[in-house]
Structure 1
């Protein structure tokens, strides 16, 4: 809860101050109401003398004060709810910005590839762990504060009966409350420690509800399997919370006995002294209310459950916000405009992903001349896509270096360097946003340029798809939105290519195509790449593809195996060498000739 309290003034200092003032006022009304009831009870015996008497006026005055305090509480409560609601929304938005900032600001992606960070992200978003929105914690805070303040003032009022009277009640309620609070926090912590299982359960639930997966789920009869695996993963995550119920039952019994004894220690003397007239009606009424009011020092049930579950997302959100401090990709001081002029070189480059003992790249040497086209081929897992990630500085090499015109890539301003790149990854993102944004993200900082959008769509063969959209470029590319629609796999790939062309239109000088056209047939892919190479002549271009009809169009071909370039040259040259490339080309040609590939 401490992290949440520190977050409140950062989200909105004025609302935090207003909520604090209202909570203090609400806390003051509780003892005022107790005293008002006591005063009225003490004056009621004299009410029979009539309204015109001093006793009658005293009753009316006490009743008016009681009503005033009560009505003030009725006014303060909605004010607290409204203020807490506004502050809760501010805190939720602020926390969301913290998480987005923490996950987006790092220049590299190494931290985001860490499973522990993925767990933190899940917790920070309150997903899959039975958590509540952080705004609920803010609305619970003033209620908790008012309750605790009322309990404390109730205990203070009991000092007027006997100095020792509040002590047994404070001890019994706080100890029993602490036991229950510890159980709740243990349950929340155990759930947080079970994030991997709960994240898997959340994924399975999302798959079951995803419209895109609906066809395969039904065709393959996956529904029972999904429900069963979701149930197992969920129970594995939350099943640890049960703990030792026998020990908890013993604690509850001890707490109950302690509370009975504490109340008896105060109520029995109060009853005896009241019966002997030693304590008057007014004081007896106040003390009875105070005894009942000390219960607010104990466990407050749903209120504390809500606060614990809703505030649990704040500490991991702050951890995610600190991710930029762990970023291993540090921007350099040198400008990158106009690069490369001569070329890009990988020098004895090695790289391995965190948690893996096997290096993906192992002493790779490669030269990419500026303005030329290079094709990378090789088996899956050979390191081709990893090479692209190093080129884009999503990761840095663990050994060796990558240079641009002789300058280490790490010495260049990373943002400026990425402005020189237009990359289409194999697993490119299908943004559920308007088509205009999907293409425009290629140069997100550039002003709106409808002519460039249309030109890039035409060059990528996307214009027929755009023409068929209900609202043209402004159509959301998702059926989950009103008037939205979806594209076919091939259309999405052409859109990704148009996005890269849009980046080229706005100054990118290095074009990387990492198998983005797998949904196209061989002839369509070859024609598209041929047109691309012609349109982007003069750019430094890298092609990655398993289809040799495509890669043979490049100026030079490199065969990557075991994290190294083992063969390179032109298509005819590599065929003449009769090595790995030639054998792979022969196998693929035979497969196509036999009609086993589309």
Structure 2
């Protein structure tokens, strides 16, 4: 479990932040639907005034009935007050129904809006941030419940207003009986509020504390249920172990919840009992006053109703205030995520100072956030248009990191990368990435149509069937696509109806075709995209790429030296540094690390 966060501050120290987040939540709800927000406010006002009105009319109804009994005559007053009370009760029911409708409509729209805000924010984050475990903890906290909390906070705010109006109107009626009755009314609702306030911070602390465990449970659900894990889960009989881990995490979380729930429940019962005693003490006070002749039967009925409904309104108001505090605690997770700083990219250049100059890497070093070790250390390279470069080295030597920096996925820290004579820092991000076609080893397998899987390489031509076809021919995918049931309109993957699964090699050709969607790309990066192919097929694909590349710079990462040797230039990487560089012949003559690795691999084929 992650380190325990600090205990949240008490509710009484949070009035100002509470008001701040209340305004922000209200602004968010207003932006989602102004007319629903106005309707909610109006209905809240109506619902707040009606209870006291019903109690007051009830008093006149009872007194008119008593008078009718005494006179043995059913008067028009009885029918008037009875009809009026019936109308007010119907209005109360209608206002509550309308409030529920508004809340349900707002909940759906606001939940969608907040989720979109979260996803948009995630897309603004740098790749290095997205790869950070702490980021996913913050994302998990932001998405869990936070999408409903803004509306909840607004609903509770309106609830406090509604109950506040009711309390004021009830207090006005009680004041005529005794000013002390108002104090009893308010004091009777305090115990339940204190019980809830005591545990709100602890509940939120558990929520924050268990983010890694929650994320692990979600991951285990994915592993146990998704088709791309099924083969290994079944083959290695992982299901019992993973399911037990899932159960263990739940048991741990449930144990914490149970302890808090039991304590919270008993405190609520004990303090609620105090409120009940206060209520029935008030009832006794009213009954004694009635017996003494100071109150009519109608007044007694009204005051008893006012005490009962008034205490409920006080308790509901204070509980809503406590709920607002709890919502505020949860909303801090949402707004902390939305307000995470994003380093602004100031580059505006869409064309280099010296078109055709190629790619230059000068003293490039890079360190991942939170790491003490350099992932890249003093890299220097110069690649002219039409040049092919192969990167080789052990896993973790920095090959993929280098290509991600070239592609603009990480921001430069130390050193520089220049495209056509202009630093990547000065390039507009979109303009730069439009000039680069990349296929990573872990390329995406979209559960889309074949054509859309290819079209993803150029979003502006996403629906262009002619572009799909041209790119598929270049990526060597057209032949097998034509054999699919619906060709380029075939649904891929198993998530949707009539989905068709491809072999690993076919998926890789789809990814290769995706890279060719960018016809104006100056750089093509292939990060082991043909790992699922045999050595002969990979060599043929690389030869094809070299032929199709033309005046582009081609960068290949591969562990197969039969393919690597075809590159114009080969760079050997080790612990973030380029230790050897040259042609195949030059590196073999050097008799260094490359020659050793080449001979080891060649020996396996002899």
- TM-score, normalised to structure 1's length? 0.89
2:451 to 423, 427, 436: 436
2:67 to 42, 46, 63: 46
2:170 to 143, 154, 158: 154
1:308 CA drift (Å): 8.3
Q: Would the aligned equivalents of 1:333 and 1:413 in 2 still touch at CA under 8 Å?
A: yes
Q: Distance in 1 between matches of 2:490 and 2:161?
A: 49
Q: Would the aligned equivalents of 1:50 and 1:56 in 2 still touch at CA under 8 Å?
A: no
Aligned CA distance change for structure 1 residues 491 and 311 (closer, same or farther; 3 Å): farther
Q: Would the aligned equivalents of 1:132 and 1:309 in 2 still touch at CA under 8 Å?
A: no
Alignment of 1:194-209 (within 5 A): 194-209=210-225
Aligned CA distance change for structure 1 residues 38 and 468 (closer, same or farther; 3 Å): farther
1:438 CA drift (Å): 1.5
Is 1:284 paired with 2:300?
yes
What residue number does 1:79 align with?
98
Q: Distance in 2 between matches of 1:77 and 1:117?
A: 41
Is 1:31 paired with 2:52?
yes
What residue number does 1:383 align with?
398
1:139 CA drift (Å): 9.4
Q: Distance in 1 between matches of 2:323 and 2:480?
A: 49
Is 1:297 paired with 2:314?
yes
Deviates more, 1:238-247 or 1:431-440: 238-247
Q: Would the aligned equivalents of 2:527 and 2:558 in 1 still touch at CA under 8 Å?
A: yes
1:353 CA drift (Å): 0.8
What residue number does 2:241 align with?
225
1:481 CA drift (Å): 1.3
Q: Would the aligned equivalents of 2:110 and 2:147 in 1 still touch at CA under 8 Å?
A: no
What residue number does 1:214 align with?
230
What residue number does 2:508 align with?
493
1:560 to 559, 573, 585: 573
Aligned CA distance change for structure 1 residues 328 and 41 (closer, same or farther; 3 Å): same
Q: Would the aligned equivalents of 1:85 and 1:139 in 2 still touch at CA under 8 Å?
A: no
Is 1:537 paired with 2:550?
yes
What residue number does 1:517 align with?
530
What residue number does 2:28 align with?
7
How far does the alpha carbon of each residue in 1:32-57 deviate from its partner, in whole angstroms, 9 at most, with x for none? Answer: 22222222122112334899x6x610
SS at match of 1:171: helix
How far does the alpha carbon of each residue in 1:406-438 deviate from its partner, in whole angstroms, 9 at most, with x for none? Answer: 322101212111110101111111222222222
How far does the alpha carbon of each residue in 1:546-596 deviate from its partner, in whole angstroms, 9 at most, with x for none? Answer: 111111111100001121111111111111111100100111112233xxx
What residue number does 2:373 align with?
358
Q: Would the aligned equivalents of 1:522 and 1:547 in 2 still touch at CA under 8 Å?
A: yes
1:278 CA drift (Å): 0.7
SS at match of 2:461: coil
1:317 to 318, 329, 334: 334
1:334 CA drift (Å): 2.2
Q: Distance in 1 between matches of 2:57 and 2:291?
A: 22
What residue number does 1:451 align with?
466
Aligned CA distance change for structure 1 residues 246 and 405 (closer, same or farther; 3 Å): closer
Q: Distance in 2 between matches of 1:9 and 1:88?
A: 13
1:473 CA drift (Å): 2.5
Q: Distance in 2 between matches of 1:357 and 1:292?
A: 65
Q: Would the aligned equivalents of 1:85 and 1:135 in 2 still touch at CA under 8 Å?
A: no
What residue number does 2:18 align with?
none
What is the root-mean-square deviation of aligned Cα atoms in Å?
A: 3.0
How far does the alpha carbon of each residue in 1:354-411 deviate from its partner, in whole angstroms, 9 at most, with x for none? Answer: 1211111111212222221111000000000000111122212332121223322101
Aligned CA distance change for structure 1 residues 298 and 526 (closer, same or farther; 3 Å): same
1:210 CA drift (Å): 1.4
Q: Distance in 2 between matches of 1:309 and 1:461?
A: 57
Q: Distance in 2 between matches of 1:383 and 1:217?
A: 31
Q: Would the aligned equivalents of 1:333 and 1:411 in 2 still touch at CA under 8 Å?
A: yes
What residue number does 1:596 align with?
none
Q: Distance in 2 between matches of 1:270 and 1:206?
A: 62
Q: Distance in 1 between matches of 2:148 and 2:210?
A: 19
Aligned CA distance change for structure 1 residues 247 and 459 (closer, same or farther; 3 Å): closer
1:327 CA drift (Å): 2.3
The answer for unaligned runs of 5 or more in structure 1 is 594-598
1:508 to 521, 525, 547: 521
Q: Distance in 1 between matches of 2:461 and 2:252?
A: 49
Aligned CA distance change for structure 1 residues 225 and 447 (closer, same or farther; 3 Å): closer
Q: Would the aligned equivalents of 1:479 and 1:485 in 2 still touch at CA under 8 Å?
A: yes
Q: Would the aligned equivalents of 1:124 and 1:316 in 2 still touch at CA under 8 Å?
A: yes
What residue number does 1:266 align with?
282
Is 1:547 paired with 2:548?
no
Aligned CA distance change for structure 1 residues 139 and 222 (closer, same or farther; 3 Å): farther
Q: Would the aligned equivalents of 2:349 and 2:427 in 1 still touch at CA under 8 Å?
A: yes
Aligned CA distance change for structure 1 residues 192 and 517 (closer, same or farther; 3 Å): same
1:111 CA drift (Å): 2.4
The answer for unaligned runs of 5 or more in structure 2 is 1-20
What residue number does 2:5 align with?
none
Q: Distance in 2 between matches of 1:278 and 1:9?
A: 50
Q: Distance in 2 between matches of 1:216 and 1:269?
A: 74
Q: Distance in 2 between matches of 1:432 and 1:210?
A: 13
What residue number does 2:539 align with?
526
Q: Distance in 2 between matches of 1:235 and 1:489?
A: 39
How far does the alpha carbon of each residue in 1:151-172 deviate from its partner, in whole angstroms, 9 at most, with x for none? Answer: 5543443223211112133134
Q: Distance in 2 between matches of 1:376 and 1:21?
A: 67
Q: Distance in 2 between matches of 1:309 and 1:468?
A: 58
What residue number does 1:89 align with?
108
Q: Would the aligned equivalents of 2:163 and 2:316 in 1 still touch at CA under 8 Å?
A: no
SS at match of 1:277: coil
